[in-house]
């Protein structure tokens, strides 16, 4: 865990000083990515599995990027009603571990 020391210096304009010593980073542990519905049968619809890897340091931007890539593909291939049934990022501060669970249901494919 991070250690934070605070100090307030009195004066005409009080000054707050923070000294932060970062702790160990949170690392990804269990990662579950799944696509349900007709998109799961479409070979061109690819789940971005290489971005989030067990043991890697958690990067919230990468987590959000994976979700966005799934949504972008759904839109590209005509699954306009697709929704995440589950999107969970669970962090255990005692073990510095994070579990990811994303389950996307494509819904029906719209054809023009």
Q: Locate the domains of the chain by residue range.
A: 25-105
Q: Of 47, 49, 37, which Cα lies nearest the Cα of 82?
A: 37
Tell me how long the chain is.
112
What is the token pair recorded at 80? 């306009």
Per-residue model confidence (pLDDT) at position 112: 73
CATH for 25-105 is 3.10.20.310
Q: Are 27 and 98 in contact (CB under 8 A)?
A: yes
Give the count of alpha carbons within 13 A of 32, CB side only: 13
| Angle, CA 67 vertex, CA 24 and CA 80 arms, to 5° | 170
Query: Mean pLDDT in each 10-residue stretch from start to end of the chain (112 residues)?
Result: 92 94 96 97 91 96 97 96 98 96 97 77
């Amino acid at each position: 865990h991070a250690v934070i020391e605070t100090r307030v210096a009195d004066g005409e304009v009080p000054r707050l000083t923070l000294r932060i010593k970062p702790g160990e980073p949170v690392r990804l542990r269990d990662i579950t990515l799944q696509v349900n519905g007709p998109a799961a049968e479409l070979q061109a619809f690819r789940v971005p599995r290489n971005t989030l890897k067990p043991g890697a340091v958690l990067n919230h931007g990468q987590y959000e990027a994976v979700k966005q890539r799934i949504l972008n593909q759904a839109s590209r291939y005509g699954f306009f009603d697709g929704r995440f049934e589950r999107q969970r990022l669970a962090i255990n501060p005692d073990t510095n571990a994070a579990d990811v669970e994303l389950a996307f249901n494509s819904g029906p494919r719209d054809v023009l």
